[in-house]
Chains A and B, each alone.
Chain A
Amino acid sequence: MSDVISSSFVRQDLLAERPAPVKTTGFIGLMRTRLFNSPTNILLTIVGALLLWFTIVPSVKFLLVDAVWSGKDRTACLAENAGFAVGACWPYIQAKLPQLIYGFYPEAERWRVNLTLLLAVVLLLPLLIPRLPAKSLNAGLFFVAFPVVAFFLLHGGGIKGFGLSWTAGLLQLFDESIVGAGQALITSGRTSAVGPLLWALGSLIVLLGTLIHWLIFPLTWLRDYLQGTGQPVWADFAVTAAIVCLIAFALGGGVRTGGRALASSIATFIGIAIVIRLMDLDHGGLPIVTTNLWGGLLVTLVVSVTGIVTSLPIGIALALGRRSTIPLIRIFSIAFIEFWRGVPLITVLFFATYMLPLFLPGNFTVDGLVRALIGIALFTGAYQAENVRGGLAAIPRGQSEAAAALGLSWWKTTSLIVLPQGLRHVIPNLVNSFISLFKDTSLVSIVALFDLLGSLRASFADPKWSTPSTAFTGFAFAGIIYFLFCFGMSRYSLFVEHRLNAHRRN
């Protein structure tokens, strides 16, 4: 016992301080561990620093230090007058800014463009912030109501009828086409070898057309009657609203549960009425600004927003078609998707510009911008279809099997169970394809539409501003705009992806 005590040791004085461990955090630590820890790394660091030195420094010097900030025309940006090697020529951007943003949109009407952009921002921002409520209302307003309002704001013009007239007109067009096809078959039946067969088929189709003609007769009669009244738009509006509300009420479940559907459809029609009244659509609306006057950032945004809004339904339809069990629909969807994905966008735009007008009836002219929009919608729709299909494939089979066990139909299974879950998965992909669509809109400048890049290129030709640095300045400005939009969207897509995968992080 005693020797245990005797061998115990009690330190009498303090230990000397050990040197602090090598710092591995902060800037010093970073330099020590990741920049200068070995000869190879020192060499690489020097290479990297040299690369940065030869790119960043000249850019900053060009954009800020050597830049000319004020002036009236090109003389201000010439080296002889400025007294130094001139960098960016910012007064040129200042002079061309309206052209780069609005194109040749009349100056007195530019408030309409500003208002549209403001509306877009007000509707889009709450849609992008996940925490805010009323997403379905917001999405409905942005994807359905906003494009219509934006069209009447930007383009101007009014309406002559409403839902009933449009439906009657469309049905009549369809009927005429069917009768025309039947008569063509009958006439070709006179010369062909299988004449009687063609004749019988043609007669059958003509009979069908006549039947449709009598079926839609009440509708066309009502339209003609309404056009005869003093207020055709409002009379048509009232009739359409009454019919749609009644249908919604009946489909919603009648007296028992239809109240909600009735209320929402009445609210929608009140909203539409307010918009028609505010914009005076029944009396010709705002003055018309034809699309050949549009340009700059306005066209870039119009094309990309229309592209995304129209391509999403096309993409969903094609994705569902590709998963369909019905052979013809599946084959058609696959062929359609693979065709548009296999060709470059520029040939699609050529197709839309030169070939599409040939396919339409001769008396039917389509605006140049609309043609490009149709091409872009088909092209992007095919890409969206593959995105959406990826999301649908991520839904376990058990979900749709459970729905089938509950007795839900295919439509209800798809719209209530599969699509809502699948679309949530693909939001990052949708944003990414929106980024590439935004970049691809620059291609419309090749088919003579002046988007941001097209306006920029047009502005280079102005002799009033031609200096050696004009092109570089213009590209710097447009590049910053494109970069801000695309980079912002890609960060947003990362944020959503992070949020969606919250359960997978550890």
Chain B
Amino acid sequence: MSTEARKPPPQIALKIRRILGGKAGWNGVAVQFAFAAILGWIGYEIVSNARANLENQHIAAGFGFLRNNAGFDVNQTLISYTGSDTFLRVFVVGLLNTLVVSVVGIVFATVIGFIVALCRLSPNWLLSRVGEIYVEVIRNLPLLFQILFWYLAVLAALPNPRQSISLFGIAFISNRGLVIPSPIGQSGLAPFLAVLALGIVASLALRVYARRALFQRGQVIRIWPSVLALLFGLPLATMLVFGLPFTFELPQLRGFNFAGGSRIIPEFVALTVALATYTAAFIAEIVRAGILSVHKGQMEAGSSLGLSRGATLRLIVVPQAMRVIVPPLTNQYLNLTKNSSLAVAIGYPDLVSVFAGTSLSQTGQAIEIIAMTMGVYLLISLLTSAIMSVYGWRVSRSLGA
């Protein structure tokens, strides 16, 4: 006769207590009630005060203002925009400008940051000192100071368009910004892009195949010649068949300004330079710490296996360092995106500048506009942290396996 385990008693009261008050029990329930009452009271005060104040100022609450005409111009737009467009379009224009400056800044910051980190790790004494000076000076000056320095001192000191500095006769730097040739699509553009995309997909597939061959059969396949052919040879061949994909329109000096080409406004240049150099100093420290976190024995083991220094770095040190580097690096990318809001100080038309600045002062809808602006940044950072927690989960899973 088998003795079955008795069912545990239901303990309903205990479960309710646990759900309502957590580990703290009935005390927890009481504290939560008091806390909820206080929060409710503060919320009531805020809502009633805001309603009374808005009534006094004759402002109608709600998002209806987004459909009104903005009536002001924006000096850099990625999508078509005129003064007669709505505030909603202003919001999109500002958001796109923020994203553009963030992406460009992130690319440059990563490149500069890795170079500075390599300098700091270099066995050359002088070069590592130069890297250290860069990091210390940049990190100990406020970002706004640096943005204003580039905008008010360096860019303002540049000559006017007539005496602009020419870069090989194709790009011109002046106090009106940077003028570069603009590409104009020709008939060969569509096949060129299609072949380029095909080449990228094919080389990725080739890489996956080569890695599988290496891990499953131990077979080393040299793929770089075919990748090179796919990425450069194929598009070149299409160009020969279909003609040039695009031609460049060179900027010409006409009167007091440039005609043709596309102009990058000085605000964008100043903001990008300041954001990239500032964040690069932090990225350099992160990369350096990541590489130093890999134990010295790993490098020695690699060289005792007969790998060259480059191969050891590429195959052994960097993959282990990346695990340490990626989370704080993402954090820095997020910081750069948030710091791009300092654009408002020099008038670059980003989200904060055109929406929380100009639109706010025109409509007076403080609550709605600031909530929308904060919401955008909050959404970006929550998304990033969600992606990072998935990444951290995958890393810890691969370490556990």
Residues of A within 8 A of B (CB): 30, 34-35, 41, 44-45, 47-49, 51-52, 177-178, 180-181, 184, 325-330, 332, 338-339, 341-344, 346-347, 350-351, 354-355, 357-362, 435, 439-440, 442-443, 445-446, 453, 457, 460, 468, 471-472, 475, 478-479, 482-483, 486-487, 490
Contacts and interface: CB of A to CB of B under 8 A. Distances in A.
Contacts of A346: 341-342, 344, 352
Contact of B377 (A51, A338, A344, A483): A344
A475 B153 contact: yes
B165 interface: no
B145 A442 contact: yes
A316 B126 CA distance: 44
Contact of A361 (B49, B125, B144, B381): B49
Interface stretch (B6-14, B40-48, B88-96, B230-238): B40-48
B178 to A, nearest CB: 20
Among A184, A328, A362, find the residue whose CB has the most chain B CB atoms closer than 10 A. A328
B356 A326 contact: no
B145 A47 contact: no
A34 B122 CA distance: 10
Interface in B31-86: 31-32, 35-36, 39, 41, 44-46, 48-50, 52-54, 56
A446 to B, nearest CB: 5
Nearest to B342: A346
A307 to B, nearest CB: 14
B18 to A, nearest CB: 10
A475 B145 CA distance: 8
B141 A479 contact: yes
Contacts of B228: none
B153 A472 contact: yes
A69 B275 CA distance: 34
Given A177-B45, A332-B35, A472-B153, A443 B130 contact: no
11 contacts: A181-B48, A346-B344, A347-B341, A355-B367, A358-B50, A362-B56, A445-B144, A446-B342, A453-B148, A482-B145, A486-B141
B32 A355 contact: no
B370 interface: yes
Interface in B136-157: 136-137, 139-145, 148-149, 152-153, 156-157
A52 B130 contact: yes
A347 B373 contact: yes
Nearest to B377: A343
B123 interface: yes
B130 A41 contact: no
**Nearest 7 pairs of A and B residues by beta carbon:** A486-B140, A48-B126, A34-B125, A344-B338, A325-B23, A439-B142, A342-B381
A435 B127 CA distance: 27
B243 interface: no
Contact of B378 (A52, A342, A439): A342
A344 B153 CA distance: 26
Given A326-B22, A342-B378, A457 B367 contact: no
Given A328-B35, A347-B370, A483 B140 contact: yes
Nearest to B30: A326
Interface of B: 21-24, 28, 31-32, 35-36, 39, 41, 44-46, 48-50, 52-54, 56, 122-127, 129-130, 136-137, 139-145, 148-149, 152-153, 156-157, 338-339, 341-342, 344-345, 352, 356, 360, 366-367, 370, 373-374, 377-378, 381-382
Contacts of A486: 139-141
Contact of B32 (A328, A482, A490): A328
A178 B352 contact: no
Determine chain A's interface SS by DSSP, over half rule. helix
A111 B356 CA distance: 40
A44 B124 contact: yes
B365 to A, nearest CB: 10
B126 A35 contact: yes
B367 A30 contact: no
A477 B124 CA distance: 33
A471 B156 contact: yes
B141 A483 contact: yes
A262 to B, nearest CB: 32
Contact of B370 (A178, A329, A351, A442): A351
Among B53, B144, B149, B374, find the residue whose CB has the most chain A CB atoms closer than 10 A. B144
Nearest to B48: A184
Contacts of A483: 137, 140-141
Contact of B31 (A35, A326, A439, A487): A326
B152 A460 contact: yes
A30 B124 CA distance: 10
A180 B50 CA distance: 15
Contacts of A326: 21-22, 24, 28, 31-32
Contacts of A490: 139-140
B258 to A, nearest CB: 24
B82 to A, nearest CB: 26
Given A358-B49, A358-B367, A325 B144 contact: no
A202 B342 CA distance: 47
Given A181-B48, A328-B35, 10 more contacts: A34-B125, A48-B130, A52-B130, A177-B41, A184-B48, A332-B39, A343-B377, A445-B345, A460-B152, A483-B140
Given A34-B125, A332-B39, A362-B53, A440 B338 contact: no
A161 to B, nearest CB: 24
A61 B130 CA distance: 19
B152 A341 contact: no
B49 A359 contact: yes
B352 A49 contact: no
A217 to B, nearest CB: 22
Contacts of B35: 328-329, 332
Contacts of A329: 31-32, 35
Given A178-B41, A347-B341, A479-B141, A49 B370 contact: no
Among A44, A326, A338, A351, find the residue whose CB has the most chain B CB atoms closer than 10 A. A326
Contacts of A351: 370, 374
Contacts of A51: 130
Nearest to A31: B125
B353 to A, nearest CB: 10
Among A343, A362, A439, A471, find the residue whose CB has the most chain B CB atoms closer than 10 A. A343
A407 B399 CA distance: 41
A453 B370 contact: no
A35 B50 contact: no
A471 B153 contact: yes
A460 B157 CA distance: 14
A475 B49 CA distance: 43
A347 B49 CA distance: 22
A327 B22 contact: yes
Contacts of B36: 328
A48 B124 contact: yes
A181 B41 contact: yes
Given A358-B53, A358-B366, A44 B373 contact: no
